């Protein structure tokens, strides 16, 4: 997709009503490059903004944005409107891509310091704490998988993306009350899945 250029200056979103993102996604899923270009123009600023919040580096955020749109181009035909709003679907892909980039950078950093770490005395308390944290992460991931798609989308943006209820509502094209309900219901379901009792 050679029409995807750098995102150094993200374009503004569409007008008040904006384009029909669902229709543009549907057409992009049928390899309509013009529709995909319009989708990009209408949403790149939000995707770039989310990427920047996660990776915290403009150059990395540009790369994440391009990777996200390549993934969107490849998978547009799989978008299902009943599972969430078009912008929510785009932002979930962008968030996943950005988190993958952060994890990759962290893994590279860990590889760079392996030798140093192997020559340090083992702190058994730190080892036990790291093992416990790893177990907790697996439990939370398993519990997240038990949420409905809309709950996972809202909880993910609120707690993994660090967005406020109002921002989540805006991103998912929902009333604030509905966004709050999805987040609250998702948290209740997470608490039950994790066996946490008030």
Domains of the chain, each with CATH number or no CATH: 1-120 (1.10.1740.10), 124-198 (1.10.10.10)
pLDDT at 129: 63
What is the C-alpha separation between 71 and 88, in angstroms, rounded? 15
Residue-wise pLDDT for 22-55, tens only, equals 999 999 999 999 999 999 999 999 999 999 999 9
Mean pLDDT over all residues of the chain? 80
Q: ∠ CA 69-73-76 to the nearest 5 degrees?
A: 115
| Segment 84-110 mean pLDDT | 90
Asked if residue 21 lies in contact with residue 43, where contact means CB atoms within 8 angstroms, the answer is: yes
What is the C-alpha separation between 162 and 178, in angstroms, rounded? 18
Does residue 144 have a pLDDT over 80? no
Share of the chain above pLDDT 90, in %: 40
Q: Which residue has the higher pLDDT, 190 or 45?
A: 45
pTM confidence score: 0.53
Give me the half-sphere count of Cα atoms (radius 13 Å) on the Cβ side of residue 129.
Answer: 5
């Amino acid at each position: 997709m050679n029409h995807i250029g750098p995102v150094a200056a993200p374009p503004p979103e569409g007008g008040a009503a904006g384009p029909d993102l669902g229709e543009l996604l549907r057409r992009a899923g049928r390899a309509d490059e013009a529709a995909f270009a319009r989708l990009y123009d209408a949403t790149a600023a939000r995707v770039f903004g989310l990427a920047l919040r996660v990776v915290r580096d403009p150059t990395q955020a540009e790369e994440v944005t391009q990777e996200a749109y390549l993934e969107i181009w490849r998978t547009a035909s799989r978008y299902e409107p009943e599972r969430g709003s078009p912008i929510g679907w785009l932002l979930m892909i962008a968030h996943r891509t950005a988190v993958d980039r952060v994890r990759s950078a962290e893994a590279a950093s860990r590889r760079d310091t392996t030798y140093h770490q192997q020559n340090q005395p083992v702190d058994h308390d730190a080892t036990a704490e790291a093992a416990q944290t790893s177990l907790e992460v697996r439990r939370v991931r398993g519990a997240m998988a038990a949420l409905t798609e809309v709950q996972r989308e809202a909880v993910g943006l609120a707690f993994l993306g660090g967005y406020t209820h109002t921002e989540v509502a805006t991103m998912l094209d929902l009333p604030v009350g509905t966004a709050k309900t999805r987040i609250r219901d998702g948290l209740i379901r997470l608490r039950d899945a994790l066996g946490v009792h008030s």
